[in-house]
Structures are given as C-alpha cells and as structure tokens.
Amino acid sequence: MPSEEDKLSALSPRDRQVLKEISDGLTDPRKIAEKLGIKEVSVISSAEGLAEMGLIGLDKRVEEVYALTEEGARYAEIGLPERRILEIAGAGGVPISEIEDPALKVGIGWLKKKGWAAVEAGKIKPAGDAPPGKDEEILGALSFQGETSGSALDSEALKLLKGRGLVESRAQKSWSLEITDAGRSVFRKSVEKDVAGRCDSISHINQITPDMIKSGVWEGGYVSYKGSRYEVRPYDVALPAERIYPGKVHPYQRLLSRMREIMLEMGFSEIKGEVVQSSFWNFDALFQPQDHPAREMQDTFYLDSRAEIPDHSRVKEMHEHGGEVGSTGWGGTWDPEVARREVLRTHTTSVTIKYLADHPNPPVKAFSIDRVYRREAIDPTHTPEFEQLEGVIMDEGLSFANLLGVLREFYAKMGFEEVRFRPGYFPYTEPSVEPEVYIQGLGWVELGGAGVFRREVTAPFGIDHPVLAWGLGVGRLAMLRLGLKDLRLLYQSDIGWLRDVPTLSRM
C-alpha cells in the first residue's frame, strides 16, 4: 500500500486544488469547476484519481430527467384538449359535431378514460367535478421549473404524458464527492508542506521535456533546470492507459480481402459480372429445369424486364432431349420467353458460366467474390443479401482428386487445419461434395459445396474439358472467424463491436 507521503507526492497541483474544495465541503463537480475556473471533466478526472487512492468517496448516479416537448409546452399554456372541451361544454354539455378542431377531438377519448364526461346520443355530458389531475400538475411544474428529475414526479402520470408525446426524458449523470479520513490526513500534510514554504520556492512540472532530461540536475523527487527548482510528480507506469481506437478496415471487408488474396496467390484471376442477370444465365445455362422450385417468386427477386439472350438452340436441345452427351434431358418444351426474364442473381455461378461460355478453351482458372440476392426472411443466420466466393478450374486431364487438393489448400490458407469431404448433391455438378472443417467447440462444420460441372452444363457452350467448381457463403465463414452468433452484425454499425475486434488479427 502506498504511504501518505507517496500519495501526496503523486498528486498534481489540480488534484490538490480539487481535494481542498472537497475538504471544504463542496460535493458537486460542477460547482468545484466553477469555483476553480476549470472544466467539469477535469474535476471528474481528478476526482476519479483521488478515489482510486482512497482519498475521497465517489458516488455516481444515473437518473431520468424530464422536460416538456414543444406540444407539451403548448398544452401547459392553453390546457389539455380534454380540459378545454369541458370548458366549452359547460354544465349542459356539447354535441360532438361542434368539436371540429382535430387537436380538440383527441381529448374526447381522454374525457371518457378519466371519467370526466360521458358521450350519450352524440353529446358530451360532463360527469361532475374534474379536479386537476397529476398529468396537469406535472405539465405545470415542468413549465415553471424546467427539466426535473423523474423521482420527484408521479411515475404513472409521467408514463401517460410520455405516451402522448408531451414530455421527453434523458439520462443524466450525477456525481457526489466526499473526503475520507485518509484524504483529510493527506490534505493536512499538503497544507503543512505549503506553510513550510516549500511550495513558494518549488514549482510543479506539468510536462517533462527532452531538454530537461538531458540538462537538468536531478535529485530524488526534484530537478533543477534553468535556474528553477521543480518537484517531480511520480508516475505509475503499471496503471492502465486510456484505450485508443484507431481507424481500421471493417472486419468483414478484411476477411473478403484475405480470401481474394488467397485466390490470387493460388493463381486464379478475378472475374466480375452484372447484378441483374437473365434467367438464361442464372438458371437455364446451368441445366436447371424451367419448372424448378428455386425459380419461384419465394426464392427469387424477379424484375419487370426482359433480356436479350444468345443463341439458345443447343441449350434448348439439352433441356428437352439431352443433347449428345447421353442425357435424357428434362423433357417438355423449353420456353425462351421464360429464359429472358431478368432477376437479381441468386448465385455467382451465373457469372461463372457466362465467363466459361466466352472462354471455352483451356486453361481457365477464375474466381469471384460478390453479392447475391434471395428472398430470405431476416434472422441471425439469414439475410436477403450476402456474399459468395466461387472458383472454377478448366483444363485438360483434370480429375475429382485435383478438386479435393485445391480445396484442402484453400481451407488450409484460411486457417483450417482439419478438412474432410462428404458426398453431396448439387443440380449442376456430378460428382459433388460438401467440404467440412473442424472448429474447436463446434465440431465439424459444413463450409460450401463443390463438384465437377455436368456435361449437360458445359457441352452446349463447346466446353470439352472437365470444369472443377466450388463455392461457399462468406457470411458463415465470417461468423466462425469473428465469433459471431448473429450474421446481421456484419452489416450494422455497432461501434462497440467494431472497436473490440482486434486490428492486427490475420483473417
């Protein structure tokens, strides 16, 4: 425990001033600040330091204070609508039809609720005496004295007035300071030190300069510098410093950048595409039947527009009869008008297949990280907009084993040491797998899907070599990497969370 001498030497001149005022009986930081001619925040800062040393007691309180709104101030002056209706009605009452002012009509319901009047045969009839209510008393009090603590006012009446938009509240912090026995003892020693005359000849250092360190003469807790003698206040280097919140890239954007960096390191080229796609590229080119449930309005955002589509004869043949790849197709009649309907892309594969159609010759090694849109109900794990990462490789002699190797490499670079694959089903790949990574505390977690494009997808565009493809929802990966339980945090401006995410953590 620091001695009284240690505590005294640790006090700055301002700390001593604040301690003196508290010793003299001032308990409100605002009044101390006014007396010393300094800012209230400076007094509070000194008070917190004094409280840490046990020299004062510090009581912090937060209370609701209330004030009139603009409408409340008007009613405080002219009266509540229900009171004014009573004045108009007098003892004999008044027909409702004569209450034409909309601002007065709202008072009819309150008249009945308060039991001040009844409505019979279209006429408002006063029910007797109507003494001022608690709500009217509060309006008058707030009008007279301004902002007032809620503890001094009737809580039920306040609730009614707040519901009517006549009063508003805010949280107000209050501080109460009181000197302790230890503080009195240290203050006495401070006074004795001043009386001894030491403070008349010795100044206090507010800031040590490099020149003072180099050329000053240091003796114990004092330094002689340029003809003056200064007392040096000790600093506790173990005390926690004020937190600094530097500017930094959003954690989700850092994750997207890291994934992009990994794909480029692995030799992929990034491709981009339009958000609005035709149903042809979003569905038909991927051999998805035109009556597939995923095309329904509950899954897809359709637009009231039509797109131009390329020569579709081979796609039509593949859907109806299976083309020349040994497939039976889907049968029925493929309708080009359905293919022309424009949608907000439901996956980035619509961009991928279009790129492959434009580059049918090997080698192709491309990826995209982009936003897609689906009609999802918003909850902690689903949003109608989210990002997808997708990669494709097309070359001679590629096999399913090559796909698994690329996936292991990608997930290893993302920091997942244990990866496994289980069979899966996807409409436009065969064979297909679902990669899973092991997360401590969660077990095996599925992170995307992968497979080899079916010949029904590639053949209509003259692609004669295997196409390895995979994709994953970046949101789920972000939740794992950032320890989130609610996906919506990625898109909200939660300053507390953004500050707490480490700046230098590698995604």
User: Residues at the annotated binding site for L-phenylalanine?
Assistant: 349, 388-390, 428, 453
Tokens found for residue 352: 């991928």
What are the backbone dihedrals phi and psi of residue 352, each rounded to the nearest 5 degrees, phi first?
-65, -50
Query: Per DSSP, which regions of 69-166 are E strands?
Result: 94-95, 117-120, 123-126, 148-149
- Edge-to-edge order in the sheet of strand 123-126: 94-95, 123-126, 117-120
Q: What is the largest CA-CA distance in the chain?
A: 108
| Cα–Cα separations (whole angstroms), residue 303 to 274, 288, 334 | 14, 19, 21
Name residue 149's beta-bridge partners: 65
Residues in Cβ contact with 434 at an 8 Å cutoff, skipping those fewer than 6 apart? 421, 422, 423, 424, 446, 448, 449, 450
Q: Which residues are annotated as a binding site?
A: 349, 388-390, 428, 430, 453
Query: Per DSSP, which regions of 396-463 are E strands?
Result: 419-423, 429-439, 443-446, 449-453
Tokens found for residue 120: 């019979």
Q: Which residues are annotated as a binding site for Mg(2+)?
A: 430
For residue 479, the tally of other CB atoms under 10 A from its CB is 19
CA distance 506 to 258: 8
Q: Output 243-251 pairs: Cβ under 8 A, ≥24 positions apart.
A: 245/499, 246/503, 248/503, 250/498, 251/478, 251/482, 251/498, 251/501, 251/507
Tokens found for residue 228: 């003056």
Residues in Cβ contact with 486 at an 8 Å cutoff, skipping those fewer than 6 apart? 380
- Residue recorded with tokens 């081979």: 314
